[in-house]
A and B are shown apart, each in its own frame.
Chain A
Amino acid sequence: MTGHAGAGTVRDVTSSETELVRVLDQDGRFAPSPAAEQYLPLIEAISDAELEQFYRDMVVIRAIDTQATNLQRQGQLALWPPSRGQEAAQVGSGRAARTQDTIFPSYREHAVTRIRGVDPVDIIKLMRGVSHGGWDPTDPKNGNTRLYTLVLGSQVLHAAGYAMGLSFDGRSGIGDLDRDEAVVVYYGDGASSQGDVHEAMVFAASYQAPVVFFLQNNHWAISVPVTTQSRVPLVQRSAGYGIPSIRVDGNDVLASYAVSRVALDEARSGQGPRAIEAVTYRLGAHTTSDDPTKYRHTDEEDIWALRDPIVRMRTFLEGRGAAASFFDDVDAEGADAAEDLRARTVELGPPPVSRMFDHVYSDPHPLIEEQKAWQAKYEASFEGGQA
């Protein structure tokens, strides 16, 4: 697989020159790579119900993602960053995290956030201009999922600091897998060039913080290919900070689950940070404001379409004898979720004006109070009288 034709003689950094953990091959056959050997006991212990859940997660989020993309095209959202193609990396890692873990997403982790309990409509609030946040990370129903971060890489430092706090507070490394906490932070190949990502690795390594750096290498930072971002496989960067790092086929949900589960459990047990590069592909646009036809070739997209993580998992499940009715049920569930998303999106009205003033500070602030009162008085002056 070559990158953009313009990459010229730049070495292809997405090839398998670094050992890749893969369990399902492109055609959905169970064909573990040599690097996957150590994960096989864990993978073989996954129940049929869990396997079906992985598939269901991927299909439903793709239906929601497609609906949200359509909603943006119809003028209902300011923006939508599609997750199409990256479902396996997200579902595998999202299902690998334990209940007590904390998730720091970037802004494309729609599958992860949904698995943790965040209502997709809460993401819509952010993308519709109703809220800058959308959900309450401290509400237990949201599964310790922090807010989306739109400035690339900033959240990686927050995650490292959060993990340092877990360590300082004795909430990690005690020796109880069901209570020891860990952090997983998501970022991409583009963000991997940000200084904050590198500083986060320095801090995490220095303090041996229980954090897993989960890099989704989707090959494109908007229009710039990963070959421009790095002369070496990205997995080597985290390794350079002394962080044990693994490369996984991010379109293989089973492999993504296994490496994430092991990395998180190692981190939570006091062994320090871990890093995962999940090699995947952004099948859609960067966001709805983007036009991939200007910078990448359809033959590349066609090749990656053949590696679609949902098709691969379906083939695998069919091979294990899953009934046709199961797939029909899952499709119906996706369609229902998409319809529900549409119905609730169009009902979302603007936030109250007080939202602008009320949470700039936690403690009272005279200037904000003064401006809030002035704004209310000014707006009231238009009611029933001349401006």
Chain B
Amino acid sequence: MTLETMPLSKAMNAGLRKAMENDPKVILMGEDIGKLGGVFRVTEHLQRDFGEKRVLDTPLAESGIVGTAIGLAMTGFRPVIEIQFDGFVFPAFDQITTQLAKLTNRHEGRLSLPIVIRIPYGGHIGAVEHHQESPEAYFTHTPGLRVVSPSTPNDAYWMIQEAIASNDPVIFMEPKSRYWPKGEVELEASSAPLHASRVVRTGTDVTLVGHGAMVTTLLQAAALAEAEGTSCEVVDVRSLSPVDYEPILDSVRKTGHMVYAQEAQGFTSLGSEIAATVMERAFYALEAPVLRVSGYDTPFPPAKLEGLYLPDADRILEAVDRSLAY
């Protein structure tokens, strides 16, 4: 094992660098990703080391970036796009959902579009409007896209390489509040395939499920619950589309209780979909309905209110208590 400790943003950088070294067709596109290295410095020094034809500081036009990436992929490139912030992806929404997601189908399999769209997402950074959103459900709802979200530096390092190797478009949701905390990265071998969910803490009483930055909050809640005598198992979904249900179902069959937590608003959300599926497939194992803890169904509030909007360990524990009280 070769372990190195680094923050998630550096792990992304290392993963991108490795993918670019391994395949000369991998190119990066985005706003300010070259000389500046991206607003989160994820692509720092990559233009210096790979040149301006492989790390493109594009014009400021998201639809243009995705649309030209489609054309580039048609000539054999594997573009990796950085959308600067979650709320800036919507100018590209038509190209993503109407073109990128459907072109393989429209070509009846004669065209693959290996394009990765990286989207830093989520709250907890105290930023202005359009900079703290969680738009993943728009993409999980769209056939033809794959959607993943790493929660640790190690997953970031490996999942970005696996996403680039995928022959399908991948929406790569980066939990931006997790960019800075450090974690160990195993540089030799990946610990899980791209589309696998994973138990990150074992427990016996309640199954806590979530994705992205919320995995950290779930682990905090589990630690607090343990002090009160409740044993929580935590599952990191990792792949938001397709979802790997078996680890979730196995856990629920053991605990009989499940809480899903997400920063996104709850109505027609990923948590809603997973809750419904768990209830369909593990109905007799459940001792309480699957509960969801989500952002409120409002626009993301001004940053001074984000602590009240985003689910925290206390709101998760409130749901744990409700579940156990059934």
Chain A residues within CB distance 8 Å of chain B: 131-133, 136-138, 146-147, 149, 151, 154, 156-166, 168-169, 171, 195-196, 199-200, 202-203, 206, 355, 358-363, 365-367
Contact B59 A359 (CB under 8 A): no
Which residues of the partner chain B approach A360 to less than 8 Å between Cβ atoms? 104-105, 143-144
Which residues of the partner chain A approach B70 to less than 8 Å between Cβ atoms? 157-158, 161
Report the contact-size class of chain B (Cβ under 8 Å from the partner). 35 or more
Which residues of the partner chain A approach B99 to less than 8 Å between Cβ atoms? 149, 151, 154, 158
- Also in contact, A164 and B95, with CB within 8 A (given A202-B59, A360-B104, A362-B109): no
Which residues of the partner chain B approach A365 to less than 8 Å between Cβ atoms? 146, 168, 242
- Also in contact, A161 and B242, with CB within 8 A (given A133-B107, A154-B94, A154-B98): no
Asked if B166 is an interface residue, CB under 8 A from chain A, the answer is yes
Chain A proximity of B69: nearest CB distance (Å): 6
Contact A137 B111 (CB under 8 A): yes
Can you give 5 contacting A-B residue pairs, CB < 8 Å?
Answer: A137-B107, A158-B74, A171-B75, A361-B146, A362-B104
Docked complex: B81-115 residues within 8 A CB-CB of A: 91, 94-95, 98-99, 102, 104-113
Contact B72 A165 (CB under 8 A): yes
Chain B proximity of A165: nearest CB distance (Å): 3
- Also in contact, A147 and B167, with CB within 8 A (given A158-B70, A161-B69, A162-B72): no
Which residues of the partner chain B approach A163 to less than 8 Å between Cβ atoms? 71
Chain B residues within CB distance 8 Å of chain A: 27, 53, 58-59, 61, 63-64, 66-77, 91, 94-95, 98-99, 102, 104-113, 143-144, 146, 166-168, 195, 241-242
Contact B110 A138 (CB under 8 A): yes
Contact A161 B72 (CB under 8 A): yes
Contact of B68 among A136, A203, A359 (CB under 8 A): A203
Which residues of the partner chain A approach B112 to less than 8 Å between Cβ atoms? 362
> In the docked arrangement, what's the CA distance between A169 and B67, Å?
18
Chain A proximity of B306: nearest CB distance (Å): 31
> In the docked arrangement, what's the CA distance between A365 and B68, Å?
26
Beyond A158-B70, A161-B73, 8 additional contacts (C-beta under 8 Å) are A137-B107, A154-B94, A160-B68, A161-B69, A166-B75, A196-B67, A203-B58, A366-B195
Which residue on B lies nearest to A181, using beta carbons?
B75
Chain B proximity of A104: nearest CB distance (Å): 8
Which residues of the partner chain B approach A362 to less than 8 Å between Cβ atoms? 104, 109, 112-113, 167-168
Contact B95 A359 (CB under 8 A): no
> In the docked arrangement, what's the CA distance between A359 and B113, Å?
12
Which residues of the partner chain B approach A196 to less than 8 Å between Cβ atoms? 63-64, 67, 94-95
Which residue on A lies nearest to B27, using beta carbons?
A168
- Also in contact, A359 and B98, with CB within 8 A (given A157-B67, A196-B63, A203-B64): no
> In the docked arrangement, what's the CA distance between A151 and B66, Å?
15
- When A and B form their complex, which 7 residue pairs have the shortest distance between CB atoms, in order from nearest? A161-B71, A157-B67, A165-B75, A161-B68, A199-B64, A162-B71, A359-B109
Which residue on A lies nearest to B168, using beta carbons?
A361
Contact B242 A157 (CB under 8 A): no
Contact A168 B242 (CB under 8 A): no
Which residues of the partner chain A approach B68 to less than 8 Å between Cβ atoms? 157-158, 160-161, 164, 200, 203
Chain B proximity of A29: nearest CB distance (Å): 42
Contact A168 B63 (CB under 8 A): no
Chain A proximity of B167: nearest CB distance (Å): 4
> In the docked arrangement, what's the CA distance between A199 and B74, Å?
19
- Also in contact, A363 and B64, with CB within 8 A (given A158-B71, A199-B59): no
> In the docked arrangement, what's the CA distance between A258 and B68, Å?
28
- Also in contact, A162 and B75, with CB within 8 A (given A362-B167, A362-B168): yes
